[in-house]
Structure 1
């Protein structure tokens, strides 16, 4: 069997085995379901709060279309309906079926509410009423075409020039970056730990002895890392893609291009980060022969990941383009977490991305060599925990 075939066989076994487990399917579906439930809850709660239901009675009935048009121009959601019985309309106000009932003429408009009126809707109704009064006064003053004068007045616009044109997008960009950084951290940590647990399981059951009778240690290690890494990648892409789709559907996200670009960079950095940490997790797992002892050897690797994530994440949130964030995002152990977030924020130069990738690839080569050496020397060791120095010496 060739080396490539051996690695592919192990990777395929790990991929199929992990994808078929209940925890993977249920866990992925639960996460997506929770996200969907949260988005639907936000849409139902805040959507209903933002939408005003207005009833028009008597002479005010003719104003419904003008109110709807003026509200739409200001991005105010309104539902208009005709009310024939004001007494019944008051009951609808009391039980929340209506938010306001408009009566009277445009010049003498009266509004019934339960306890208060949306300030933005009040501004729309007040504006229409003032327009009606002004038009009438212009006609009384002998202005030949009051409607034309009002049209010209309404066409007046205030020109706003932003000195930072993308300032309103910064919040979304930072949120996208922060979410991707968190997903990468969780995925690398979870599936890196899974690699270590798999190594310990094979040692404890002596399965590794059978496997190493036909393939080499590095082939087994590489196949395991590739297989489990693909499982993590599939879950990451599924969750991230579902999150983007839900956010777009709920109009929470408007920067679809940034989100998709962040997902692509997230895939790149997940692969780099997973290969970087997986070798460390695998080497650490090979030092022990029982699951009970695994936590003690995995803690140092996990702590590096956790502390690095917390420190880097807070720095990125504070200032994604600050000196601290730029320096930390070039550190190989932190780059897979921070660099995608900074890219989403739009603060990364091309040379920074290239340098971070180059440094991370160099770190992967070094860590893979050390982790592979530890794994090769310790994987057949049974009994008490093997010392790190002894595993490195061989």
Structure 2
């Protein structure tokens, strides 16, 4: 039966897609990752909401300090809730963990009671307040009005002239970039290895001989890679939608939606480029062996081309996003899928660098498809001992 090349590739891809989307491994791995993403966002929300919030008790004698403590805390980034209690009740609540601190004494000479230690945000708040109270005392001793002096001090500011614009949401963008690359890395590793394992499985079970009676080798390879790429793409879209949705809903991410969407889209684009780049090499590598036991020996060198750029990217980019090394490495096709999404998320990748890296990477993919197709064609029907790469490249 003769069928067109497009239909042959589509049939093979549809077979891979239907088989893998229904598999327990796909469902379980997707659910595990969704639980991980949801748990991480919830944890970040809890940490973010609790780390900068404190409850402070005041006795009737120190109640006049409550307003000053709240305003001072706001100035240093600490959200403080105040409560008026008796000293005895307040000390018990501090001991029980219901109050982070209790202010006793008087406005001019107060003491802060804590269970074990004063958290850093509250320590900064009370240190600033103590200095202000000491300054007010000195001002009064000179016969001046502390309110007038405080207003003059509050209106004073330093003029800052930055040489480069400061990046907004830098910490959140860094976290977003790291998460995007981690998801991309895991998807490439899992789905890339699935390509090689599928090739070896079909070859060892002789199913490939039946398939090649209907389609050509390059069509079988292309269909397999395309089908598994779509499976990974479905996962990436689900992960991005759930992660961004939860991040925005919980307030963990305050980055504008346009920046979040742009990062998600570019992550998916680089997933597709990276997947085709590595998957065709893994398909060719899988065709060189006939047993699953031998697969690691041919798959590991290709996986190292994913692992090494990822490790370098996680080390170089977060430490210095705009470094010259990051600029250069992100332009090299084998490094681009791991480094460029992070630089895009951080907003340090110029448009021309993104465009050039895409062009270079796509060009490499085209070359790898031709080379891997030759290896696959010449090795996939050869059973028994491992086929040498040089022999697969030379065979007619």
- The CA distance in 1 between the partners of 2:336 and 2:382, in whole Å, is 34
Indicate the SS of the match to 1:161: coil
Partner of 2:338: 337
Q: Structure 1 residue 341: deviation in Å?
A: 2.2
Deviations 1:106-134 (A, max 9, x none): 45545433344432231464377569868
Q: Distance between the aligned counterparts of 1:63 and 1:315, measured in 2?
A: 47
Structure 2 equivalent of residue 212 of structure 1: 212
SS for the counterpart of 1:237 is helix
Which structure 1 residue ranges, 5 or more long, are not aligned?
A: none
Matched residue, 1:351: 352
CA contact (8 A) 2:68 2:129 kept: no
Q: For the residues of structure 2 that align with 1:64 and 1:86, how far apart are their CA atoms?
A: 15
Matches of residues 1-12 of structure 1 in structure 2 within 5 Å?
1-12=3-14
Alignment root-mean-square deviation, CA? 3.2
Between 65-74 and 259-268, report the one with greater CA deviation. 65-74
Q: State TM-score, norm by structure 1.
A: 0.84
Structure 1, 347-356 or 312-321: larger mean CA deviation: 312-321
Which segment drifts farther, 31-40 or 213-222? 31-40
> Residue 56 of structure 2 contacts residue 100 of structure 2 at CA under 8 Å; is this kept in 1?
yes
- Is the 2:64–2:107 Cα contact (8 Å) retained in structure 1? no
| Contact 2:37 2:243 (8 Å CA) reproduced | yes
Alignment of 1:152-167 (within 5 A): 152-153=151-152, 155-161=154-160, 163=162, 164-166=164-166
Moved more, 325-334 or 167-176: 167-176
CA drift of 1:369 comes to 0.9
Aligned-pair distance for 1:248? 4.9
Please report how far the alpha carbon of residue 275 of structure 1 lies from its aligned counterpart in structure 2 after TM superposition.
0.9
Tell me the secondary structure at the aligned position of residue 181 of structure 1.
Answer: helix
Query: Deviation of residue 337 (structure 1)?
Result: 1.6
Cα distance in structure 1, aligned partners of 2:350 and 2:52: 40
Q: Secondary structure at the match of 2:348?
A: coil
Matched residue, 1:368: 369
Range 201-210 or range 262-271, more displaced = 201-210
Q: Do the aligned partners of residues 215 and 33 (structure 1) sit closer, same or farther apart at CA in structure 2, a change above 3 Å counting?
A: same
Q: Output the CA distance in 2 between the equivalents of 1:321 and 1:111.
A: 45
Q: Is the 8 A contact 1:19 1:25 kept in 2?
A: yes
Deviates more, 1:345-354 or 1:265-274: 345-354
Q: Is the 8 A contact 1:203 1:380 kept in 2?
A: yes
* Residues 321 and 347, structure 1, Cα contact 8 Å, conserved in 2: yes
The answer to whether the 8 A contact 1:67-1:124 is kept is: no
| Corresponding residue for residue 82 of structure 1 | 84
In structure 2, how many angstroms separate the alpha carbons of the residues matched to 1:306 and 1:111?
A: 52
Spell out, residue by residue over 1:256-308, the C-alpha distance to the aligned partner (whole angstroms, 9 max, x if none): 45443222211111111111111111111112222112112212222333334
Determine the structure 2 residue equivalent to 1:32: 34
Q: Is the 8 A contact 2:309 2:339 kept in 1?
A: no
Deviation sequence 1:189-240 (CA, Å, 0-9, x none): 3211111111111122222222223333222222211111111122233334
Distance 1:318 1:110 in 2: 41
Separation (CA, whole Å) in 2 of partners of 1:294 and 1:93: 61
Give SS of 2:54's match. strand
Count residues with an aligned counterpart: 388
Determine if the alignment matches structure 1 residue 21 to structure 2 residue 20. no
Alpha-carbon spacing, 1:248–1:129, altered in 2? closer, same or farther (3 Å): farther
Contact 1:11 / 1:223 at 8 angstroms: preserved in 2? yes
